Amino acid sequence: MPRNKRLHFKDLNALRGLAFFPVFIFCTLYYISAGQNGMLKEINFFVEKIAQNSLDFFFLLSAFLLTSHALREYKYLEGFSLKNFYIRRLFRIAPVLILALIFTFIFHPWMNDKLALHEISLPSAAPFLYMLPNYFSSSFQFLFIAIIASIYLFLQFYFVWGIVLKYLRDFIPHVGIALVVFGIVVRMVHIYKGTSHVLDTMAYATPIGVGAFLAYAVRADLKIIQRLKEIPKNINTVIYIVGTILIIGGYILTSKHFSSAFIPLFTSVFFGYVIVEQTFGKNSFVQLKNQKVLTHLGRVSFGLIVYQSLIAFLVMIAFESLEGDLNSPYALLLILLSSFIGAIVAANISYKILEKPLLRIRREFKKI
């Protein structure tokens, strides 16, 4: 297949990098503020609400990219290989997931025993083998286990979405619209029952639906996509400002209210706009693909998100062993920097040694 027919949205790596930061800050502050009350815990509450947008974004982006690639596969190869689709997903997820599970169920218990730390309560490993840890565990003692459980949300999504792409290709826009409505209903059910939607795969149906519809719209070159490409710079700037305000304040202002079920619809529409504008826009006031640091962080973002929760946990153990003062702003800064640097080092090593070689093998199952 000629290179100009390959599908690569290099602009999107920077968006992944941006989406990583709220998750990182939340995880680190969560460990620092655990068992405390006061301003730090309040700050982390707000950061947690902002970080929810990152998970919505990752689902939207996955749906957009997977659907875009599948539609191109249909066009250029006149078919879609479900087996290759699953193999590609497995190669992408498996290295980081396996290392995280080894840390959780082997290294962490061993370390806890050797250092005589606090008594720990680990969930059963069985749900993790059945790909359903989010439904079998309502809460986790350690945040990094919840982060690992979130990986399974994507595994479940990949399993179902492969079937959709294989057998419902002609109905992608209808499926997308249906998912938007379904996701709103699921969020409302969680709000009504007073339960968290964070580890419920179905609660992300709205961003998945928007991502799928966006992929169809771009592939079909609908008129609305053409109009979005031509939006003037001043209007484009206003849209970014409004969208950023919505991301920062949407979940915070509507916390525990039924209106929060609609937040992922509004933010997903904004995310979709950003994807189109950054990729095809002619009047951008900023091109994120030129931000090399963000682009690199986005390239290793999957490992970053998983490893940072493990690194932050280890940093906190080390800090507590030194009897550091968690109320000190210098301690907060030291923990944040140590966790961030450690996560970057771990993610880069993992990417170069494990993920990148497997990505080369994965290309054998991706012909366009």
Q: What digits encode the pLDDT tens for the residues 153-167?
A: 999 999 999 999 999
Q: Is the pLDDT of residue 3 over 50?
A: no
pTM, two decimals, is: 0.93
- CA dist 116 to 16, 106, 123, 190, Å? 38, 15, 20, 39
pLDDT at position 177 is 97
Q: Where is pLDDT greater, at 54 or 366?
A: 54
SS percent in the chain: helix, strand, coil, step 5: 80, 0, 20
pLDDT at position 7 is 52
pLDDT averaged over every residue in the chain: 89
- CA dist 263 to 125, 172, 200, 218, Å? 34, 23, 16, 23
pLDDT at position 365 is 67
Instruction: Give the confidence band of 10 by pLDDT, cuts at 50, 70, 90.
Output: low
For residues 187 and 207, is the Cβ–Cβ distance under 8 A?
A: no
pLDDT at position 1 is 42
Domain chopping of the chain, boundaries: 20-288
Tell me which DSSP letter residue 221 carries.
Answer: T
Q: Is the pLDDT of residue 352 over 50?
A: yes
pLDDT at position 354 is 85
Q: Is the pLDDT of residue 37 over 70?
A: no
In tens, the pLDDT along 211-267 reads 999 999 999 989 999 899 899 999 999 999 999 999 999 999 998 899 999 999 999
* Residue 223 in tokens: 């008129």
